[in-house]
A and B are shown apart, each in its own frame.
Chain A
Amino acid sequence: MTSTTIAPNPAPNPAFASRAAWAWTLAFLAAWIALYASLTPIADALLSLLPLERGTHLAEAVHFFIYDTPKVLLLLTLIVFVMGVVQTFFSPERTRALLAGKREGVGNVMSASLGIVTPFCSCSAVPLFMGFVMAGVPLGVTFSFLISAPMINEIALGLLFALFGWKVAVLYLILGLFVAILAGWVIGRLKLEHLLEDWVREMAQSANAKETEVPQGMGWPERFAAGRHHVREIVGKVWPYILGGIALGAVIHGYVPEDFMAAIMGRDAWWSVPAAVLIGVPMYTNAAGIIPVVEALLAKGAALGTVLAFMMSVIALSLPEMIILRKVLKVKLIAIFVGVVASGILLVGFVFNAVL
């Protein structure tokens, strides 16, 4: 984040406000590119100031920390900003209107994709769920959205991109979509409408939900402002976790011997995938803390499929979310939901380890 977070001034002249917003955004992008290009020289200079000899455990750990921290924070800031702008084009209300009346199959694919770009906060998961069901969005299609929205988020994608490169980030995106579509479709096939809480079904049948189109009317200045706000909100909140994660990753890099993880999380240990999912489901941490650790494990011989399965189960399935959803779903449906999603993740882990 740059320090030029100017408070949006209520300029009376809209043309001026628009020019200012464009100027600010272009300046931000230019500063970003300049900083990103000079990352290695700056890190080299910093490292040369420290009395460390390359090859020692401590030097390797410090090296990892100094190189990765600014890179990760920079990339995350950019991706979160872009996502903040993109999300202004979508709203849960609009997504619902797009999904209402869609059949299963097509509907699952659409809702999983819309889950990536629609602004979503797990605190409004319940109103959102209700809104979808009452508007006649099929249950399985609703679940596709509920799985993809938290799992494929900008923090996970940004960090994967920063630490593993774009290929792994795209892979995570595609596999996440796959799990969301498949799990939603399976839940739809199982015909579980009777496992919704009774009051939910009553409301869905009375169907007196108003289709309210929330007034949008946004110009680019507002969209950029939303992007900046998104950065302040998300990067401002997760950076301590990222620092913690990178620090832990740095320790692993410096002190844990090469191939240490190969026996436990390597490709040949088939049981490591279910074990990773089992450990991952009850764990609740945001992607920010987990990914730098995962990167370090990977460097020590863990298999990518196992690692991705672990990440997905940590991010997609969490105890707090289950408790929130308990308001609208019976326990049995929650159990089925967890089971189906975990199976999908398991499949991803196995296929990955087999193919790569």
Chain B
Amino acid sequence: MKIIKVLGTGCANCKNTLKLIEEVAKARGVEIQLEKVEDLKQIMTSGVMSTPGVVIDDKVVHAGGVPSREKVEGWF
């Protein structure tokens, strides 16, 4: 199971990203564990500066803005 973290301090784009990942995972039937990280210190230690960032299994795959649907589909 993939552990996916969305990093962001609660802006609208972060919520949209979270929703998008959830949708795509459901459509694909992939089981994931989705987490939202809002703590600034944690965000900073992951190395992401532009939020929202997406981390899959401790690897940063996206930073800055809502990812496109195709990009999200590519993760599964």
Residues of A within 8 A of B48 (CB): 127, 131, 212, 214
Q: Which of A278-298 contact B (CB under 8 A)?
A: none
Residues of A within 8 A of B11 (CB): 123-124
The CA-CA distance from A122 to B68 in the complex, in Å, is: 21
- By the criterion CB–CB under 8 Å, are B49 and A215 in contact? no
Residues of A within 8 A of B49 (CB): 92-93, 96, 124, 127-128, 130-132
CB contact under 8 A between A209 and B44, given known A92-B64, A214-B60? yes
- By the criterion CB–CB under 8 Å, are A127 and B41 in contact? no
The CA-CA distance from A130 to B49 in the complex, in Å, is: 8
CB contact under 8 A between A126 and B62, given known A10-B70, A209-B47? no
A332 near B: Cβ within 8 Å?
A: no
* Chain A 91-135 per-residue mask, 1 if CB under 8 angstroms from chain B, else 0: 111001000000000000000000000010101101110111010
Instruction: Write the nearest CB–CB distance from A329 to chain B, whole angstroms.
Output: 13
The CA-CA distance from A244 to B41 in the complex, in Å, is: 41
- Taking a contact as CB atoms closer than 8 A, the residue among B47, B50, B62, B68 that contacts A121 in the complex is B50
A199 near B: Cβ within 8 Å?
A: yes
- By the criterion CB–CB under 8 Å, are A130 and B44 in contact? yes
A53 near B: Cβ within 8 Å?
A: no
Residues of B within 8 A of A10 (CB): 70
- By the criterion CB–CB under 8 Å, are B45 and A209 in contact? yes
- Taking a contact as CB atoms closer than 8 A, the residue among A91, A119, A211, A215 that contacts B47 in the complex is A211
The CA-CA distance from A119 to B51 in the complex, in Å, is: 11
A240 near B: Cβ within 8 Å?
A: no
B46 near A: Cβ within 8 Å?
A: yes
A210 near B: Cβ within 8 Å?
A: yes
CB contact under 8 A between A93 and B44, given known A10-B70, A127-B9? no
In this complex, the member of A93, A124, A132, A203 whose beta carbon has the largest number of chain B beta carbons within 10 angstroms is: A124
Instruction: Write the nearest CB–CB distance from B58 to chain A, whole angstroms.
Output: 10
Instruction: Write the nearest CB–CB distance from B50 to chain A, whole angstroms.
Output: 5
The CA-CA distance from A208 to B46 in the complex, in Å, is: 9
- Count: A-B pairs, CB below 8 Å: 77
CB contact under 8 A between A124 and B44, given known A92-B49, A93-B49, A96-B49? no
Main SS class of interface, A: helix
- By the criterion CB–CB under 8 Å, are A93 and B63 in contact? yes
B30 near A: Cβ within 8 Å?
A: no
B27 near A: Cβ within 8 Å?
A: no
- Taking a contact as CB atoms closer than 8 A, the residue among A131, A203, A214 that contacts B41 in the complex is A203
* Chain B 1-45 per-residue mask, 1 if CB under 8 angstroms from chain A, else 0: 000000001010100000000000000000000000000110111
A327 near B: Cβ within 8 Å?
A: yes
Instruction: Write the nearest CB–CB distance from A51 to chain B, whole angstroms.
Output: 46
- By the criterion CB–CB under 8 Å, are B13 and A212 in contact? no
- By the criterion CB–CB under 8 Å, are B44 and A8 in contact? no
CB contact under 8 A between A199 and B41, given known A96-B49, A127-B9? yes
**15 A-B contacts (beta carbon < 8 Å):** A92-B49, A93-B49, A119-B64, A124-B51, A127-B9, A127-B44, A127-B51, A130-B44, A131-B47, A199-B41, A210-B45, A210-B46, A211-B47, A214-B61, A214-B63
Beyond the given A96-B49, A119-B64, A127-B9, please list 4 additional residue pairs across the A-B interface where CB-CB is below 8 A.
Answer: A91-B63, A92-B49, A123-B13, A210-B47
